[in-house]
Chains A and B, each alone.
Chain A
Amino acid sequence: MTLGIVVGTVVSSSKDEQIQGARYLLIDKCNQQGEKKGDYLVALDIVGVGPNEMVMISEGSTARETMVTKNKPIDALVVGIIDIIDENDIIVYKK
């Protein structure tokens, strides 16, 4: 999975009709310390993420492997909100 920070949202009224009511988040990819890379993507949110939270994103066809996204045309999905990351027994990120 890829780490990223939720920096905003992307709103579209004329979208492929299969995903009504889904929330698209603007994600800036980051490292395990939470430093942003300026590398943006749009990911579907089904876990209810707030702004500036660090999340895990699953990209590619695996993004379709949930109840909500089955057979839907998406390739980036927020699969979890990060609480803590430790690296060599040192906490490098805490929510």
Chain B
Amino acid sequence: MGNLAEYLMEELECETVFKIPIRIPQIAAYADGIPVHESIVVTWIIMAVLILISIILTRNLKVDHISKRQAVAELIVTRLTGLVEGMIGENGKAYVTWLTTVLLYIGVANAIGLFGMKAPTKDLNVTVALAVMSIILVEAAGIYQLGIKRWLHKFLEPVAVVLPINILELVTRPLSLCMRLFGNVLGAFVIMELIKFVVPVILPAVLCCYFDVFDGLLQAYVFVFLTSMYISEMLETEEEA
């Protein structure tokens, strides 16, 4: 059993792929050069693949007599943006592209285990970054749409007593976003490793479909859904006022 625990810990550890040879002796972690995690490298691969596919799919677009490639590109774009637009509503059209990008990225990142790479979302740094950007987007949308005064006033709504809770939400919302994604992916990973350890054939293939594909895409959806919900919540008050 000690063997399994060691193995698991090893798998869970974020590997450092390489180190940028800039030594910063003042910071202990960077004393030996800046480490670049596996998640960053996998993210680069995902980015490269996504961008390459987009470029290939959107080569010489036409208005009519479209090619199959273009049909696929249009299908993907209209479906995904339609999905996000359905969640965020008419007011948040400006944020649809960003949310669709996040949806694509998390979806691909969660499912990349299928290709034998470690999902970047298993690295806390990535989910923290995603969550921080989400909450910044939510608050920025609030400031942009409502103006600073009304945005600040929103912390006192619906009654002034909830001010501490509203301020707390600034932290808890991204924290829950980040930990939900991280925990799900990590949990799925741990369970998959355990199953692989116990039953090495057939069963992992079946469960992999559930954990990597279904749960991964579901988590991507949930992340984007919650972010767009926060944004539309922010924008909704503007209409009521």
On whether the two chains bind one another, the answer is: no
